[in-house]
Amino acid sequence: MPHEHSHTEFVEASPRQRFTKFGISGTLRLVSAGVQVWGGATGNQPALFIEAAEEATDALTFGAAALESISEKKGVIGKARRMAIGFAVTAATISTYDVINEMTSDKFSLNQSIENINFANNDIKAATAALALNSIVLFINRRGRESKKTSDKYAWRDSLRDFVIPGSVLGLAAIEAPHWAEYIFEMGGVTYGWYNTKQLYNGWKQPKPKRSI
């Protein structure tokens, strides 16, 4: 007997559904950026401003992807794709700077334990709230891994990265792991971010016979 699959067959979302998905994702990323600005300002943690800038740029990438998904004009589609790639490169650059800046600041304390989580501190509250918001973004874009569309795949990878890496770092802080363990995860996130950006560029740079990406 042929093997029967219990899961339903994947069906690509409509342009309107993709527009809504990207729009909501971008809005949540903007809210997350705002929360981190608040945490940085009230918790005396300037590093959160850099992370907020990355989140805001990610939000712009989602916004450009939303425009690309709904437009039927080649000129608008091309411009939206260039904007999305530009914002993705900017976000990856900010992420790289953020990790290098942190590593440089902690170069003499790599073997020291990460400060334990204290929810009385606003920076921890902000980081936890941002993680919760990014978990929603990940859920919204979960089917992107099955999609053939370039922007859907990018959104899935980006959402996964921005949930797994911060969640792992908070987990390491909870067990008071050494700083070098934190940077292994964060450098992995940076590498994955650049890979995802390259995949976005590669997926859109080649002309296609029809608008199927």
Q: Per residue in 30-49, pLDDT tens?
A: 999 999 999 999 988 888 99
State the residue range of the domain holding 67: 15-205
Give the integer Cα–Cα distance in Å for 92 and 57.
9
- For the segment 188-204, the average pLDDT, to the nearest whole number, is 96
Give the integer Cα–Cα distance in Å for 4 and 16.
32
In a domain, 10, yes or no: no
In a domain, 210, yes or no: no
Q: Answer yes or no: is pLDDT of 4 > 50.
A: no
Give the integer Cα–Cα distance in Å for 208 and 213.
8
Q: Which residue has the higher pLDDT, 7 or 13?
A: 13
For residue 212, the model assigns a pLDDT of 45
In a domain, 94, yes or no: yes
Count of domains forming the chain: 1
In a domain, 175, yes or no: yes
In a domain, 25, yes or no: yes
Q: What is the pLDDT of residues 134-159, one digit of tens each?
A: 999 999 999 999 999 999 999 999 99
Q: Answer yes or no: is pLDDT of 25 > 90.
A: yes
In a domain, 1, yes or no: no
Residues ≥6 apart with Cβ < 8 Å to 192? 157, 161
Give percent of the chain above pLDDT 90: 70
In a domain, 116, yes or no: yes
Q: What is the pLDDT of residues 183-193, one digit of tens each?
A: 999 999 999 99
Take residue 169 and report the two structure tokens written for it.
Answer: 């770092």
Q: What is the pLDDT of residues 90-130, one digit of tens each?
A: 999 999 999 998 888 877 677 888 877 777 789 889 999 99
Q: Answer yes or no: is pLDDT of 1 > 50.
A: no
Give percent of the chain above pLDDT 70: 92
What's the pTM? Answer: 0.88
Per the listing, tokens 């990406």 go with 213
Residue 13: HSE in the Cβ half-sphere, 13 Å Cα cutoff:
24
In a domain, 95, yes or no: yes
Q: Answer yes or no: is pLDDT of 13 > 70.
A: yes
Task: State residue 211 phi and psi, 5-degree precision.
Answer: -85, 80
- Residues written for the chain: 213
